[in-house]
Amino acid sequence: MTVLVTGGAGYIGGHMVLALLDAGEKAVVLDDLSTGFRSAVRPPAKLIVGDFGDMALVETILREHEIDAIAHFAAKIVVPESVADPLRYYLNNTAKSRNLLECAVRHKIKHFIFSSTAAVYGEPEVNPVSETAALAPINPYGRSKLMTEWMLQDASHAHGLDYVILRYFNVAGADPKGRLGQSTPQATHLIKIAVQAALGFRPGLDVFGADYPTRDGTCIRDYIQVTDLVAAHLMALDYLRKGGESLICNCGYGTGFSVFEVIDVVKQVSGVDFNVRISGRRAGDPASLVAGAERIKSVLGWAPKYDDLPAIAGQALDWERHLHNKSKAESVLVRNSAAR
């Protein structure tokens, strides 16, 4: 059987495709390439360029490729952008996911893995936050994801669509084998921005708020390495195929680092003391989000292998150098071709 991976040409979805192929699974990727890259989809995975909300296209894929499971990564993910343009987020993350779910139900897909977010918790009263904590998202991104969680749960009750919802904390790093990393030029991930500043690709880094009620005034987040994260997805798929009941799990390490602490780690790993500017708070940013990860360990048997922030920063640094060198080589080829 085959796994349909929506958003499989992107950062996390692309790592999922690599993990599926490494495990001997078949994968079909559906991605509109708005933020993804063709090069992220390695053979023999098949890339279909299109919109995951296009029901006719999705139904054709489900019918023609013997899909038995869907791993749904495709989404808009930038919190400040969601505050500025909420309807775009409700269209992409919620309305289109509803279409995808209808297709899954029509074609009797039994297993659905959903890429959700810790943003569904909003400002938790206690950190680390457990899956049973109150759900009170404070931005449209988190609300758009929570709505999809609700739709998936309701579809499961009505139609027998088994699911695992994985609530991500902050994803970082790159494939340890150097095959893939965060490639979006304007990505808003803190570690990516910091390594770009360290390499001189940015004039510096802005810290959005240093007056939060945290140990140093900056936001605290739980940074999970991307390969560890996709390993949880493979375990979730195996769990469902073996008859496991629908499940919601946090994906994080249970350790929080402040923005200043992350910056210091990147400076140490890179050996560069880049410029840091303090700016005002961004709308929709909670002060602290740290994962309670007991459930994913006890139920899925997940055990992280890459829980090391300096190593994660080093992976991101190496990948950013790779992207820069690749871009330079491609520019030389273009100039040489034009000169002929």
Q: What is the pLDDT of residue 329?
A: 65
Q: Is the dihedral of CA 320, 323, 326, 330 positive or negative?
A: negative
Separation in Å, CA 327 to CA 185, 331, 333: 11, 6, 10
Torsion angles phi and psi, residue 321, rounded to 5: -65, -40
User: What are the pLDDT tens digits along the chain (340 aa)?
Assistant: 899 999 999 999 999 999 999 999 999 999 999 999 999 999 999 999 999 999 999 999 999 999 999 999 999 999 999 999 999 999 999 999 999 999 999 999 999 999 999 999 999 999 999 999 999 999 999 999 999 999 999 999 999 999 999 999 999 999 999 999 999 887 889 999 999 999 999 999 999 999 999 999 999 999 999 999 999 999 999 999 999 999 999 999 999 999 999 999 999 999 999 999 999 998 889 999 999 999 999 999 999 999 999 999 999 999 999 998 987 666 655 555 655 6
Stated length of the chain: 340
Alpha carbons 294 and 250: distance in angstroms, whole number: 9
Q: What is the pLDDT of residue 283?
A: 84
Q: What is the pLDDT of residue 330?
A: 61
Catalytic positions, written as ranges: 141
Q: What is the pLDDT of residue 8?
A: 98
Token pair listed for 198: 């360290």
Number of Cβ within 10 Å of residue 238's Cβ equals 14
Quick check: 276 and 238 in contact, CB under 8 A? no
Q: What is the pLDDT of residue 336?
A: 59
**CB-based contacts of 45, cutoff 8 Å, min separation 6:** 5, 8, 17, 20, 21, 26, 27, 28, 29
Token pair listed for 336: 């040489």
Regarding beta strands 46-49 and 26-31, do their DSSP bridges make them parallel or antiparallel, or are they unpaired?
parallel
Q: Strand pairing partners for 116?
A: 167
Q: What is the pLDDT of residue 184?
A: 87
Q: Which of 249, 261, 176 is nearest to 210 (CA)?
A: 261
What pTM did the predictor assign?
0.95
